[in-house]
């Protein structure tokens, strides 16, 4: 279908522009806040990347304790130094990552799926496995650089003069690994490409260069801070992980892949299935259906299972049969390696954790069957809907601080609790986050506290004192859409949940008498 469009309509730069503009329309969401704080520091002190503290969850923390590989924060820091903290311009500044993703996706789609390369490239760039996940966070830039390294590796394998491509592949590998540690399977993927293509020597050289660059940066960080950022978090993750975490990852895998690649699976190949699934999501989004969150989870698991299970079964078979075409075995190895890496490095289930799985999964499915038109349409509309819902959900975290500031501005300090996007907009309005360790309020100050199912306060709350504080009123963000993506798309077993209360609700108090905050820990 999309392959019949005029070439310019699916040109990588057009797709990258669409991806970038969709991102530019979204507010700050979830961990965007941390990377913007990091970028501010790097814009003024680039030689000491982790020599500062940032307020995260419930108190100021050393930057070294937050997982922040350098590539994206340094790029954001450069943009911030050039044109200030203009969020729209900073989103446009991310265009190179979108362009690398789109170009690499087109190259790989044409190589592996010549019969449906255009369709696969479009869906890998602006489909539900990419569009909802582009923001100031690491995931899509890391995926783009990983795919760029893989595309460069294939160019080197095809070239007679391969050493420049080996250098380019090694550099892209270093950048990908230092963008997000979840792409640690990239060296193994490159070695598999070299092995099955009969160019293992090229792959070894490229991987050696990539790892050397990775180690060189960690050595620099150690020389400055006395710690390797990578090793610091690797040992911390190894200490905290357990069997229960891995079980949660197994259950979540199908559900999240149901969003990112369910459109390419067998489930939507049945007549009427796309209409049925789409109608069910619309009903749940607007009507009070009992057990809605469970229903959504089951639907997404069905979609994910229809994509993952047949592909994994085929991948194992392809790897065991030596007569299988080399590029089919490459895709099979790529998919299995991504699944293994997902279980090895993911600290919790989230949609962004399966992006690496989505690409070889879609390419493998498309290589042996034409992607169903109803599935492609479903996936494209689904991706747009999730992106819009995520932006709508995040907009509530921008609105509450702005509404509160309109009341409190110019009349004392406003203290508040909140996390993620709310934290960014609250601090931008001059509010002060309550430190869970100690907090004092002066007469004339304000206190803005969350109420309901979405406080995002890092496990603590402030209990207002009726004797020293006066309740002024409440600020509520409510609408007719019952689905939410925050925090589910970013840290839960399924990408969505059905909310049972307002999208966001805060109460505003005026401090009449100087007092200490009453801090209560919550599970």
C-alpha to C-alpha distance for 63 and 81, rounded to whole angstroms: 20
Residue position matching structure tokens 């830039």: 141
Write out pLDDT tens, residues 19-56: 999 999 999 999 999 999 999 999 999 999 999 999 98
pLDDT value at 5 more than 70? no
**Residue 168: partners with Cβ closer than 8 Å, 6 or more residues away:** 152, 156
C-alpha to C-alpha distance for 175 and 146, rounded to whole angstroms: 8
Q: What is the mean pLDDT of residues 108-132?
A: 88
Poorest-pLDDT segment among 114-128, 338-352, 444-458:
444-458
| pLDDT for 9 | 54
Q: How confident is the model at residue 117 (pLDDT cuts 50, 70, 90)?
A: low
Q: What is the mean pLDDT of residues 426-451?
A: 90
Write out pLDDT tens, residues 427-438: 999 999 998 887
Write out pLDDT tens, residues 253-268: 999 999 999 998 888 8
Q: What is the mean pLDDT of residues 81-96?
A: 95
Poorest-pLDDT segment among 79-88, 213-222, 435-444:
435-444
- Alpha-carbon torsion 31, 186, 95, 107, what sign? negative
Poorest-pLDDT segment among 138-142, 209-213, 246-250, 423-427:
246-250
3-state secondary structure of 450: strand
Q: How confident is the model at residue 2 (pLDDT cuts 50, 70, 90)?
A: very low
User: When comparing pLDDT for 164 and 8, which is higher?
Assistant: 164
Strands 519-521 and 515-516: unpaired
Poorest-pLDDT segment among 18-32, 97-111, 271-285:
271-285
Q: How far is CA 198 from the centre of its chain?
A: 35
Q: What is the pTM of this model?
A: 0.93
Task: Give CA angle at 184 (146, 162), nearest 5°.
Answer: 50
Write out pLDDT tens, residues 451-508: 876 666 677 888 888 889 999 999 999 989 999 999 889 988 889 888 888 999 999 9
| pLDDT for 107 | 94
Q: What is the mean pLDDT of residues 313-327?
A: 86
Q: How confident is the model at residue 8 (pLDDT cuts 50, 70, 90)?
A: low
Please, what is the average pLDDT of the chain?
90
Sheet holding 446-450, edge to edge: 432-433, 414-416, 446-450, 504-511, 469-477
pLDDT value at 92 more than 90? yes
Q: How confident is the model at residue 243 (pLDDT cuts 50, 70, 90)?
A: low
For residues 441 and 512, the answer to whether their CB atoms sit within 8 Å is no
CA within 13 Å, CB half, 240: 10
- High-pLDDT (> 70) share of the chain, %: 95
Name the residue ranges covered by the structural domains of the chain: 243-371, 393-521
């Amino acid at each position: 279908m999309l392959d019949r469009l005029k070439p310019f309509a699916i040109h990588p730069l057009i797709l990258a522009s669409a991806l970038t503009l969709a991102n530019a329309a979204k507010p700050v969401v979830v961990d965007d806040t941390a990377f913007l704080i990091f970028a501010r520091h790097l814009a003024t002190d680039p030689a000491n990347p982790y020599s500062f503290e940032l307020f995260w969850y419930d108190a100021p923390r050393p930057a070294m304790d937050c997982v922040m590989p350098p590539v994206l924060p340094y790029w954001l820091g450069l943009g911030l130094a050039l044109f200030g903290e203009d969020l729209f311009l900073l989103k446009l500044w991310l265009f190179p990552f979108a362009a690398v993703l789109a170009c690499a996706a087109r190259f790989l789609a044409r190589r592996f799926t010549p019969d449906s390369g255009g369709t696969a490239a479009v869906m890998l760039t602006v489909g539900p496995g990419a569009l909802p996940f582009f923001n100031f966070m690491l995931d899509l830039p890391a995926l783009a650089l990983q795919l760029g390294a893989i595309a460069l590796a294939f160019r080197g394998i095809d070239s007679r003069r391969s050493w420049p491509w080996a250098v380019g592949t090694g550099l892209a590998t270093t950048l990908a690994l230092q963008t997000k540690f979840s792409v640690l399977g990239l060296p193994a993927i490159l070695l598999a490409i070299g092995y099955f293509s009969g160019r293992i020597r090229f792959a070894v050289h490229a991987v050696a260069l990539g790892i050397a660059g990775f180690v060189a940066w960690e050595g620099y960080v150690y020389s400055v801070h006395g710690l390797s950022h990578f090793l610091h978090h690797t040992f911390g993750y190894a200490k905290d992980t357990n069997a229960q975490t891995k079980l949660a990852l197994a259950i979540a895998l199908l559900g999240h892949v149901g969003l990112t690649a369910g459109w390419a699976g067998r489930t939507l190949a049945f007549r009427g299935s796309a209409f049925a699934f789409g109608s069910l999501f619309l009903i749940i989004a607007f009507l009070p259906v009992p057990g809605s969150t469970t229903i959504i989870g089951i639907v997404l698991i069905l979609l994910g299972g229809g994509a993952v299970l047949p592909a994994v079964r085929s991948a194992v078979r392809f790897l065991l049969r030596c007569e299988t075409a080399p590029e089919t075995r490459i895709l099979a190895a790529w998919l299995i390696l991504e699944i293994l890496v997902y279980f090895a490095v993911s600290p919790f289930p989230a949609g962004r954790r399966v992006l690496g799985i989505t690409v070889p999964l879609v390419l493998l499915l498309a290589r042996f069957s034409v992607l169903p038109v109803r599935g492609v349409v479903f996936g494209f509309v689904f991706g747009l809907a999730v992106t819009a819902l995520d932006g709508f959900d995040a907009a509530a975290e921008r609105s509450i601080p702005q509404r509160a500031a309109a009341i409190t501005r110019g009349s004392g300090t406003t203290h508040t609790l909140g996390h993620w996007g709310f934290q960014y907009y609250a601090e931008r309005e001059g509010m002060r986050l309550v430190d869970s360790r100690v907090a004092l309020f002066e007469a004339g100050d304000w206190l803005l506290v969350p109420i309901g199912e979405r406080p995002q306060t890092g496990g603590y709350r402030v209990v207002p004192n009726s004797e020293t504080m006066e309740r002024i009123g409440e600020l509520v963000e409510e609408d007719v859409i019952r689905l939410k993506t925050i925090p589910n798309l970013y840290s839960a077993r399924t990408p969505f949940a059905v909310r049972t209360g307002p999208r966001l609700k805060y109460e505003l108090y005026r401090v009449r008498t100087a007092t200490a905050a009453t801090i209560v820990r919550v599970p």
